[in-house]
Amino acid sequence: MNVRTPPSLLDLAESSLLRNEALAISALDSLPRELFPALFMKAFYRRRSQTLKAMVQAWPFVRLPLGGLKDMARVRVGRPIQAVLEGVDVLLAQKVRPSCIPVNLLFPHRGCNLQVLDLRSTGQNFWIMWSGSSDDVYSRSQMAPVAEVRSRPKQPVAPLDVFIDLCLKKRTLDHFTTYLLSWVEQRRISIHLCCKKLKISAMPMENIMKVLAQVQLDCIQEVQVNCTWQLSTLATFAPLLGQMINVQRLSLSHIHGSALEEKEQQHVVQILSQFLRLHHLRDLYMDSPVFLKGHLDQMLRSLRNPLDNLIITHCQLTESDLTHLSQWPYISRLKGLDLSGITLTQFTPDLQVLLEEVASNLEELNLEQCGITDSQLEAILPALSRCSQLRTISLCGNLLSMAIMEKLLSHTARLSSLKEEFYPAPRESFSSSGALHLGRLAQLKAQLIEMMRGFGGPRTIWLSSSPCPRWGNKTFYHEEPFLYHCYTPA
């Protein structure tokens, strides 16, 4: 016989309050702040609009992580969110903040402390912790009320920060984002719309500019543009990018157009001139940047601060581009270098110099599908051996022989920080027509494993016929040297 757990006093009190919205609203003045989140959750799920509106005005915490609660809900949340925004409107309508003199020190939240309305997909831990499911001390400290001040003169209301993540992946915005932007536009003096992460994958430039006109651009820290843009389109976007002065990670993909024509060169100048303003940039990712061929030096001159990671993939570079990259003043500060998809077959000396320059700090090296040959790899092995901080290396997609694979593994065995190695299946595993022979591959794998037994220490190694085995597959870690083959059928 199952015995049902009786409801707690807290559950009974919350249910009683929510049955009578007038009672719940009148009780907020004497409600301990510890009870606010649990009552707010139930009011939100049960769509008690008037209670939500009143609770926002009395919210005892600095931040209201509404996005986390919205993500936890399994019902339509349009009306509850609208009620929250109506509660914010009441706060914004106040000419001055109320005095922070508490009537009862047991309830110091009187006078709303709300400074941040967070609509991002974060904050679930806050709601779980305050509902009694977790004792997350860190969350408690993060959501503590504003420090009490017994007496403070009245002052103008500071703008309320509203945090969102923007993902512009359709030609038009969804209903909620459209409603929110309209709400913000009507309250621009009182609201700061802050966005930490901006992703653009499909939207006309005219609409993008209208959306970003509502956003505090200096709040943005991560920008990801995954569109098929012409250089002229990126040049139109560039002035907005230049205002995102706190960007730390910038990703640009599939930008078409060669810088050979004078007009296109002007676009390149327009774009790179904005890079000069990105003093906090740490990670730069450029996939298929056709315009960089022969002009990499222009981009490097625009980067006035060190980067942690430089990723330039799937484009053509010249010998002079590699030379300029090796001579970049901050090249030795890189922790991650990715040149995958760039043909480097004819650039052995330049690649060797480049590895020597990055050897002291480099932690991740990706040279997938670069057309690297046996002789080229053998020439760069000494420089590779000096990358003492290297944690991850990938050479997948290059056609390498069994002999050079053995030399490579003997050199990488000396790198004590190396945790993951991604290598192509040896050339001898394939027939003259390019078909993979699994039986032959198994023999070569066993041969390599036997060779590695003498090196000592466990290693995580991927041997693959596909260009990049690290996505969508598990990495196996073994107590002894272990070689794992990830085979992707044609």
Q: Which residues 6+ apart lie within 8 Å of 141 measured at CB?
A: none
> Which of 40, 21, 197 is CA-nearest to residue 114?
40
Please calculate the CA angle 174-180-183 and round it to the nearest 5 degrees: 140
- Rounded to an integer, what distance in angstroms lies between the CA atom of residue 111 and that of residue 114? 9
Q: How far is the CA of 110 from the CAs of 102, 118, 208, 351, in angstroms? A: 6, 21, 41, 65
Beta-bridge mates of residue 392: 364, 420
Host domain of residue 71? 9-142
- Rounded to an integer, what distance in angstroms lies between the CA atom of residue 339 and that of residue 326? 13
Residue at 159 is within a domain: no
Residue at 320 is within a domain: no
- Rounded to an integer, what distance in angstroms lies between the CA atom of residue 290 and that of residue 342? 11
Kindly tell me the burial class for residue 435, based on how many C-beta atoms sit within 10 Å of its own C-beta (0-12, 13-18, 19 or more).
exposed
Which one of 142, 168, 200 terminates a domain? 142
> Which of 356, 422, 413 is CA-nearest to residue 393?
422
> Which of 119, 122, 115 is CA-nearest to residue 161?
115
Q: CB-hemisphere CA count at 13 Å for 7? A: 8
Please calculate the CA angle 98-99-100 and round it to the nearest 5 degrees: 115
User: What is the secondary structure of 55-111 as a DSSP string?
Assistant: HHHT--SSEE-HHHHHHH--S--HHHHHHHHHHHHHHHH-SBPPP---SSTT-TT-S
Q: Name the 3-class secondary structure at 366.
A: strand
Going by DSSP bridges, is the β-strand pair 283-287/420-424 parallel, antiparallel, or unpaired? unpaired
What are the respective helix, strand and coil percentages of the chain, to the nearest 5? 40, 15, 40
Residue at 38 is within a domain: yes
Kindly tell me the burial class for residue 39, based on how many C-beta atoms sit within 10 Å of its own C-beta (0-12, 13-18, 19 or more).
buried
Tokens of 464: 């693959």
Contact 377, 403 (CB under 8 A): no
Contact 300, 273 (CB under 8 A): no
Residue at 484 is within a domain: yes
Beta-bridge mates of residue 224: 199, 251
- Rounded to an integer, what distance in angstroms lies between the CA atom of residue 299 and that of residue 238? 14
- Per-residue burial over 169-200, b if 16 or more Cβ lie within 10 Å, else e, is eeeebeeebeebbebbeebeebbbbbbbebeb
- Rounded to an integer, what distance in angstroms lies between the CA atom of residue 389 and that of residue 380? 17
Tokens of 421: 């190695």
CATH number at residue 458: 3.80.10.10
Residue at 193 is within a domain: no
Q: CB-hemisphere CA count at 13 Å for 78? A: 7
**Where do we find the tokens 């009148």?**
26
Which one of 90, 111, 142 terminates a domain? 142
Query: Between helices 374-385 and 402-412, what is the axis angle to 10°?
Result: 10
Domains in the chain, number = 2
Count the Cβ atoms, other than its own, within 10 Å of residue 415. Answer: 18
* Per-residue pLDDT tens listing for the chain (490 residues): 455 655 554 555 556 556 666 777 777 877 887 888 888 888 888 888 888 888 898 888 888 988 877 766 554 557 888 889 999 998 888 744 444 333 333 334 455 688 999 998 876 677 776 655 443 333 333 444 333 333 334 444 568 999 999 999 888 888 888 889 999 999 988 899 999 999 999 889 999 999 999 999 999 999 999 988 889 999 999 999 999 999 999 999 988 766 667 778 888 889 999 999 999 999 999 999 988 888 899 999 999 899 999 999 999 999 999 999 999 999 999 999 999 999 999 999 999 999 999 999 999 999 999 999 999 999 999 999 999 999 999 999 999 999 999 999 999 988 999 989 999 999 999 888 888 888 898 898 888 888 887 776 777 888 887 655 454 343 333 344 456 555 444 4
Residue at 420 is within a domain: yes
Rg of the Cα atoms in the chain: 29
Please calculate the CA angle 115-120-121 and round it to the nearest 5 degrees: 135
Residue at 393 is within a domain: yes
> Which of 148, 57, 143 is CA-nearest to residue 100?
148
Residue at 173 is within a domain: no
Model's pTM, two decimal places? 0.83
Q: Name the 3-class secondary structure at 255.
A: strand
Which one of 101, 126, 142 terminates a domain? 142
- Rounded to an integer, what distance in angstroms lies between the CA atom of residue 118 and that of residue 137? 20
